[in-house]
Structure formats: C-alpha cells, structure tokens
C-alpha cells in the first residue's frame, strides 16, 4: 500500500507521522510521475490544499522561468528510473519565490516492482544568498588587492624617480663641487690632512651614489620601463648570478606579447619572487629562465636544479610568497603553474595573454 496522507494502513500512518515531523518537505509520486503525497512542511510552505497539488498541480508553484527545465529533469529521471537533484524556485505561501533543492529517488513496492518516486526538498535561499555575498566580498577583496597593488607599484616608481633624479643629482653636484675645490685648496697650500679628508668625502659620495642607484633599481627596475620585460629579466638574472654565483641562463625567443604595464610589472614581480625563492630555499647550482612569446601571449619559465618541494609545501596556505605569485597571476588573467618534486628541482611557469588584464593601467 502506498503511504499517503489519506492512507489507512499502519505503515502508511506511521510514515505520514514521520514525514510530517521531518524538517524537510517530502513528496511521493506514483509510477506515472503523478504526485500522490505531500508532507505537512510541503503543504505549509506552499500554502495550497493537497487537492490542488496532487498529480501535477504542484508544479504551478514552480517559478515560470524554471518550470520547463524542472519538469524536463524530473520526467527524464523518471523515465530512466534514476535519482535526481533539481534546483528551482518554488512559490511560498507569502508569494515569495524561494530557491529549493529537490532530491528524488525511485522506490519499489513490497513486491519489488517500481512504484514511483520519493523526494525531499530543502529551502536553500539563505545559503545561496550567503554564497553570493561571499563571492561578492571575495571579488571586492580582489579588486581592493589590485588597487593596493597598483598604488604600491606607482608609489615605488615615484620614490625610485625621486631617489634617482633628485637625490642622485644632488650627490653628483656635491661631488663635482668637492672635486673642483681640491685643486684650489692645494694651490692655496692648505694642510694636506684636510685635503685627504675631502678626498675621503668624495669616496663616501661615490658609495652613496651607488646605494641610491641600487635602491632605485630595486624599487623599480628602469629596464622594465625603458627596455621591456625580457631585458629587465635578463638584467635581474645577471645580477643574481653575480651576487650568488648560481649559474643563471636566459633562453627562448625572448619575444614578449603586447602586455599592458600592469601585466608587465606583475610578470616581473612573479619572476623576482621565483628567483628569490631559488636563492633562499633551493640550494640550486643552476637556473634556466625561458622567455617565449607570440603576438598573443608571453610565457616565462623559471627552472632550478635544487632540492624541490613536496605537494604539502606547494599547497601550504601560509606560503605568502607562493600565494602572492598566484594572486598576481590571477589579477592579470595569467596562468601560473608550479611543478616540483623533492630532489628534482622546481619549475615556476607564468603565461600572460595580451589583452587579458582588466585592471586600470599604472606606471
């Protein structure tokens, strides 16, 4: 006997009591997909009498935009005797459409013959709304990170310019003045000790000039703006080799697609972080950087022959450097992959496509 709200069997009554007490909406259908039972939560939710919903009357409360797809999925699953899960909007008693997830499964009678379906339905509107809010705040966070990144990058560029142009030129002028003063003082027969001190001041200015140049370059490599991404990476590689003694080759066709300045900077910063990681963690003796480009995209691969990483290290959520590389790549619509195995070195690969960056341009 089919349990239904009008069933008089003991099993049916027990089922109806249980179903009415359940915290979800429950329905049953016969072998012809006609609904024959709705529990109290379903009837309370829809606010329509059982007689109006029995058979296929229930689907009048399905949102008109969802009805065709809902019925199609429902009847197709019925036809194939498959379990199904459908998401649709169902009109509540107050007239508001709520998103529900409706799961149905085929059932058999006591004789083992297919007897129809039983299903349970849950209101997931609140869940959907909080998912949407979460997605929105994630995207706000991303936009904020992009703006912060952009502001930081232009700040760096302007500090680099000030350092180079203002401080650098003042030091040069000071050095020239001092250098011109020395012969004058010599002519006047000034104490040679004082002259020595002046010469040593000139040496100090030389050192300060070198520091200013280094600082300005590390803030914003001039090559990035004047010579382009490939040249800036080559200079970075040469400086790394000089500093650390690690062999560092740049190979590939070295062509770079028309990336916008935001993309160019992001790719360069990814390369810098990858190289810093090799120096700090890999204990490598050689690095190969391949730069290959077409008109549409640029690929940069940094491969080292060092100790490598395991999967846990690569997925570590506290690895800010690795996360930062991924985040930068995402911001400019690039793909980033890190391939590594313990003892087998590491490859960091970034591929950026022209026109894929959608953030405002920066210096």
Binding segment (CB under 5 A) for Mg ion, from list 13-21, 163-171, 175-183, 313-321: 313-321
Among 263, 288, 299, 346, binds ligand ATP (CB under 6 A): 346
Q: Does 321 engage in binding with Mg ion (CB under 5 A)? A: yes
Buried b (16+ CB within 10 A) or exposed e, 314-330: eeeeeeeebeebbbbbe
CB 275 within 8 A of CB 302: yes
Among 217, 265, 277, 298, binds Mg ion (CB under 5 A): 277
Minimum CB distance to ligand ATP smaller for 156 or for 307:
307
- For 190, counting Cβ atoms within 10 Å of its Cβ (0-12 exposed, 13-18 middle, 19+ buried), the class is middle
CB 56 within 8 A of CB 35: yes
Q: In the complex, what is the shortest distance from the CB of residue 284 to ligand ATP, in angstroms, rounded to a whole number?
A: 7
Binding mask 285-324 for ligand ATP (x = CB under 6 A): -------------------x-xxxx---x-----xxxx--
Instruction: Give the number of other CB atoms < 10 A from CB of residue 217.
Output: 19
Q: Does 5 engage in binding with ligand ATP (CB under 6 A)? A: no
Look up residue 179 and give its two tokens: 């250098």
Q: Does 323 engage in binding with Mg ion (CB under 5 A)? A: no
Q: By CB under 5 A, what part of segment 64-123 binds Mg ion?
A: none
Backbone φ, ψ for residue 357 (5° rounding): -75, 135
Q: Does 47 engage in binding with Mg ion (CB under 5 A)? A: no
Distance between CA atoms of residues 118 and 83, nearest Å: 10
Of 120, 123, 114, 119, the residue nearest 91 (C-alpha): 123
Binding mask 243-282 for ligand ATP (x = CB under 6 A): ----------------------------------xx-xxx
Distance between CA atoms of residues 88 and 100, nearest Å: 6
H/E segment holding residue 248: strand 247-251
Q: Does 29 engage in binding with ligand ATP (CB under 6 A)? A: no
Binding mask 215-254 for Mg ion (x = CB under 5 A): ----------------------------------------
Binding site for Mg ion (CB under 5 A): 277, 321
**Which residues form the interface with ligand ATP (CB under 6 A)?**
277-278, 280-282, 304, 306-309, 313, 319-322, 346
């Amino acid at each position: 006997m089919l349990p239904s709200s009008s069933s008089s069997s003991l099993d049916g009554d027990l089922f109806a009591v249980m179903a009415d007490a359940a915290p979800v909406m429950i329905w049953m259908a016969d072998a012809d997909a006609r609904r024959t039972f709705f529990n109290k939560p379903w009837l309370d939710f829809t606010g329509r009498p059982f007689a109006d919903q029995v058979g296929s009357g229930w689907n009048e409360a399905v949102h008109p935009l969802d009805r065709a797809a809902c019925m199609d999925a429902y009847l197709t699953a019925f036809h194939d005797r498959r379990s199904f899960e459908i998401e649709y909007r169902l009109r509540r008693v107050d007239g508001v459409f709520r998103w529900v997830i409706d799961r149905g499964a085929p059932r058999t009678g006591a004789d083992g013959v297919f007897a129809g379906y039983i299903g349970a339905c849950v209101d997931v509107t609140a869940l959907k709304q909080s998912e949407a809010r979460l997605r929105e705040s994630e995207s706000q966070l991303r936009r904020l990170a992009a703006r912060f990144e952009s502001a930081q990058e232009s700040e760096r560029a302007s500090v680099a310019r000030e350092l180079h142009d203002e401080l650098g030129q003042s030091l040069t002028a000071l050095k020239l003045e001092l250098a011109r003063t020395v012969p004058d003082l010599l002519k006047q027969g000034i104490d040679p000790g004082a002259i020595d001190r002046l010469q040593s001041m000139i040496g100090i200015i030389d050192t300060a000039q070198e520091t200013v140049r280094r600082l300005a370059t590390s803030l914003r490599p001039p090559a990035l703006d004047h010579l382009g991404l490939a040249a800036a990476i080559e200079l970075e590689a040469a400086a790394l080799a000089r500093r650390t003694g690690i062999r560092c080759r740049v190979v590939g066709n070295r062509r770079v697609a028309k990336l916008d300045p935001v993309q160019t900077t992001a790719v360069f910063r990814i390369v810098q972080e990858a190289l810093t990681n090799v120096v700090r963690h890999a204990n490598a003796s050689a690095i190969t950087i391949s730069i290959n480009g077409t008109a549409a995209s640029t690929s940069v691969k940094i491969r080292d022959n060092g100790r490598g990483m395991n999967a846990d290290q690569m997925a570590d959520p506290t690895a800010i450097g690795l996360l930062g590389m991924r985040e930068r790549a995402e911001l400019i619509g690039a793909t980033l992959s890190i391939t590594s195995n313990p003892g087998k070195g590491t490859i960091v690969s970034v591929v950026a496509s022209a026109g894929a960056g959608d953030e405002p341009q920066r210096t």
